[in-house]
């Protein structure tokens, strides 16, 4: 059997799912794009998408719900200056395509005396970061139910205080095809799976929650027995630890953040502020600060969509541009922003492979992929031992940030009080309050244990949700405000 180059293979899969069944080919795409470019526009594209998704959930020892869905459609976009016209349809047909094209081109005046022309076809360069398998079919239904039942059985066997176990298994097979007026044709086949475990422990009438899980762009075979047990151990341990938690102290203090998922604070408090749309409009705390020091020496932050099999990675973004490894802050100096095509054009820079959309029914926005801080040279034990009095936060729940000011509020779902370098006891109810740009300047120690999260992140922006990754080493931040319950 002769195999095709991965980029061409993905293109063939996308055409077979999104064009051929509806009597479409590249000629029809060119015709629709030519209809748009008969008017003066800066950019135009067609975004076809086919998504199959499945979810299973267990509660009270029973797999209570299962869901399966198929969604497909096309989004048609024209951009003139900073104005965007957009139409979408779940009916993939020549008539719908041309109707949408005629609708969006009204964003700009007709190009007098100019014959509409779409550039000759060129296949977009892309990565090969994950296989093109359909993860839904990588495990049969009976085995999926058995996997969730195994999670429940393992968790209850860990400790008699485990009162309730909830587990979820989700998979998605996403195929996209992008055709642009400049002739670019790009496609991607994106698998995505996730296993989540939530445990409620009870002791003397007190109930506490712990959770764990992970996933990425691969099949269900990733969740072997050892990994399932690891997730269960983490969830049970978190719930039992929280049973002994005391009210968190409040005030300004030293805070140490653990590695991995605590990078969600970096994502929210700094990452969103580095997205191109906010900076073009001057509404970010980082606007106009390229080349300036925005963080302590040693702080290097990247957004990298090229990491193999990661939840936030992409072979191509949703505008057909190859994903990239973008250095945003280097040794404390701001180097650049995250860009989609429109904001890059308007600010005179190149796109960074960060044009992302939730689905064919949404316009692309500059969005993060996998955002993380590089490691330093301190051991995590040395960093914790350096705390005279302060908080050691190892896991986080929700949070929010004001992009303009950079101010954030985050709740720690697992944290410990530390005195004289020794962990004293777990605490509950700790919230971190501060400014993203300011807290970066107060990073005083950076661990050598950089870790990415386990593959659970979903980022929301302007009503759109996309999968992302975060990561960081252990960090010491001085003078951070902790809102507590003590």
The pLDDT tens digits for 318-364 are: 999 999 999 999 999 999 999 999 999 999 999 999 999 999 999 99
Residue-level pLDDT at 398: 72
Residue-level pLDDT at 399: 77
> What are the tens digits of pLDDT across the range 377-428?
999 999 999 999 999 999 998 778 888 888 889 899 999 999 999 999 999 9
- Burial status of residue 224 (CB atoms within 10 A of its CB: 0-12, 13-18, 19 or more): exposed
Whether the per-residue pLDDT at 116 is higher than 60: the answer is no
Residue-level pLDDT at 397: 84
Residue-level pLDDT at 355: 98
> What are the tens digits of pLDDT across the range 17-43?
999 999 999 999 999 999 999 999 999
pLDDT band at 112 (very low <50, low <70, confident <90, very high): low
Whether the per-residue pLDDT at 232 is higher than 60: the answer is yes
Residue-level pLDDT at 401: 83
Which tokens go with 216? 């990425």
Strand partners, 198: 166, 211
> What residues have CB less than 8 Å from 379, skipping those under 6 apart?
447, 448, 449
End-to-end CA distance of the chain: 68
Share above pLDDT 70 across residues of the chain, in percent, rounded to a whole number:
98
Whether the per-residue pLDDT at 108 is higher than 90: the answer is no
What is the Cα–Cα distance from 91 to 98, expressed in whole angstroms? 12
Q: What is the 3-state secondary structure (H, E, C) of the chain?
A: CCCCCHHHHHHHHHHHHHCHHHCCCHHHHHHHHHHHHCECCCEEEEEEEEEEEEEEEEECCEEEEEEEEEEEEEEEEEEECCEEEEEEECCCCHHHHHHHHHHHHHHCCECCCCCCCCCCCEECCCCCCCCCCCHHHHCCHHHHHHHHHHHHHHHHHHCCCEEEEEEEEEEEEEEEEEEECCCEEEEEEEEEEEEEEEEEEEECCEEEEEEEEEEECCCHHHCCHHHHHHHHHHHHHHHHHHHCCEECCCEEEEEEECCCHHHHHHHHHHHHHHEHHHHHCCCCCCCCCCCCECCCCCCCEEEECCCCCCCCCCCECCCCCECCEEEEEECCEECCCECCHHHHHHHCCCCCCCEECCCCCCCCEECCCEEEECCCCECHHHHHHCCCEEEEEEEEEEEEECCCCCEEEEEEEEEEEEECCEEEEEEECCEEEEEHHHHHHCEEEEECCCEECCCCCEEEECCEEEECEEEECCEEEEEEEEECCC
CB 72 within 8 A of CB 90: yes
What is the Cα–Cα distance from 259 to 36, expressed in whole angstroms? 48
- Burial status of residue 370 (CB atoms within 10 A of its CB: 0-12, 13-18, 19 or more): buried
Residue-level pLDDT at 100: 96
CB 303 within 8 A of CB 338: yes
Of residues 303 and 4, the one with the higher pLDDT is 303
> What are the tens digits of pLDDT across the range 147-184?
999 999 999 999 999 999 999 999 999 999 999 999 99
Strand partners, 338: 275
> What are the tens digits of pLDDT across the range 269-312?
899 999 999 999 999 999 999 999 999 999 999 999 999 999 99
What is the Cα–Cα distance from 309 to 414, expressed in whole angstroms? 28
- Burial status of residue 56 (CB atoms within 10 A of its CB: 0-12, 13-18, 19 or more): buried
> What residues have CB less than 8 Å from 259, skipping those under 6 apart?
380, 447, 449, 450, 451, 471, 472, 473, 474
Name which of 243, 374, 246, 351 is nearest 300 in CA terms.
374
Residue-level pLDDT at 117: 62
What is the Cα–Cα distance from 119 to 33, expressed in whole angstroms? 10
What is the Cα–Cα distance from 237 to 201, expressed in whole angstroms? 10
Residue-level pLDDT at 114: 58
CB 251 within 8 A of CB 482: yes
pLDDT band at 128 (very low <50, low <70, confident <90, very high): very high
> Torsion angle of alpha carbons 11, 221, 267, 421, nearest 10°?
-160
Q: Which is it for strands 469-472 and 370-373: parallel, antiparallel or unpaired? A: parallel
Which tokens go with 26? 């590249």
Query: What does the pLDDT average to over 450-474?
Result: 96
pLDDT band at 1 (very low <50, low <70, confident <90, very high): very low
Whether the per-residue pLDDT at 111 is higher than 80: the answer is no
Tally Cβ neighbours within 10 Å of residue 178: 25
């Amino acid at each position: 059997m002769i195999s095709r180059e991965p980029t061409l293979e993905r293109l063939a899969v996308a055409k077979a799912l999104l064009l051929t069944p509806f009597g479409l080919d590249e000629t029809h795409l060119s015709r629709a794009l030519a209809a748009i470019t008969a008017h003066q526009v800066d950019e135009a594209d067609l975004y076809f998408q086919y998504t199959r998704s499945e979810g299973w959930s267990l509660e009270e020892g029973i797999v209570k719900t299962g869901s399966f869905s198929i969604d497909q459609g096309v989004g048609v976009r024209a951009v003139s200056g900073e104005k965007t016209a957009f139409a979408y349809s779940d009916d993939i047909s020549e008539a719908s395509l041309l109707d949408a094209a005629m609708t969006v081109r009204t964003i700009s005046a007709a190009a007098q005396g100019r014959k509409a022309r779409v550039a000759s076809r060129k296949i977009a360069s892309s990565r090969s970061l994950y296989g093109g398998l359909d993860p839904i079919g990588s495990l049969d239904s009976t085995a999926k139910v058995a996997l969730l039942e195994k999670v429940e059985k393992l968790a209850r066997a860990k400790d008699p205080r485990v009162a309730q176990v909830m587990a979820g298994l989700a998979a998605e097979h996403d195929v996209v095809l992008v055709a642009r007026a400049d002739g670019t044709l790009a496609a991607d086949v994106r698998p995505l799976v996730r296993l989540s475990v939530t445990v409620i422990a009870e002791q003397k009438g007190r109930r506490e929650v712990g959770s764990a899980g992970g996933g990425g762009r691969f099949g269900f075979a990733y969740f072997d027995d050892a990994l399932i047990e690891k997730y269960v151990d983490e969830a049970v341990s978190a719930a039992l630890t929280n049973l002994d938690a005391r009210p968190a102290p409040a005030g300004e203090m030293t805070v140490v953040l653990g590695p991995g998922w605590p990078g969600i604070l970096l994502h929210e408090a700094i990452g969103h502020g580095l997205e191109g749309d906010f900076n073009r409009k001057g509404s970010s705390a980082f606007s106009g600060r390229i080349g300036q020091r925005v963080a302590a020496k040693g702080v290097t932050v990247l957004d990298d969509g090229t990491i193999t099999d990661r939840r936030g990675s992409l072979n191509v973004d949703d505008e057909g541009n190859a994903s990239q490894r973008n250095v945003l802050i280097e040794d404390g100096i701001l180097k650049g922003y995250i860009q989609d095509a429109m904001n890059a054009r308007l600010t005179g820079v190149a796109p960074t492979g960060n044009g992302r959309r939730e689905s064919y029914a949404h316009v692309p926005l500059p969005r993060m992929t996998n955002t993380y801080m590089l490691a330093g040279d301190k051991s995590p034990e040395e960093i914790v031992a350096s705390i005279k009095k302060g908080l050691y936060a190892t896991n986080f729940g929700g949070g929010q940030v004001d992009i303009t000011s950079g101010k954030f509020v985050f709740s720690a779902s697992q944290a410990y009080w530390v005195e004289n370098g020794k962990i004293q006891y777990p605490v509950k109810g700790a919230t971190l309050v501060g400014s993203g740009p300011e807290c970066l300047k107060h990073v005083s120690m950076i661990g050598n244990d950089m870790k990415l999260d386990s593959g659970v992140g979903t980022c929301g922006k302007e009503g759109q949700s996309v999968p992302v990754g975060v990561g960081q080493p252990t960090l010491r931040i001085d003078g951070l405000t902790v809102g507590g319950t003590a």
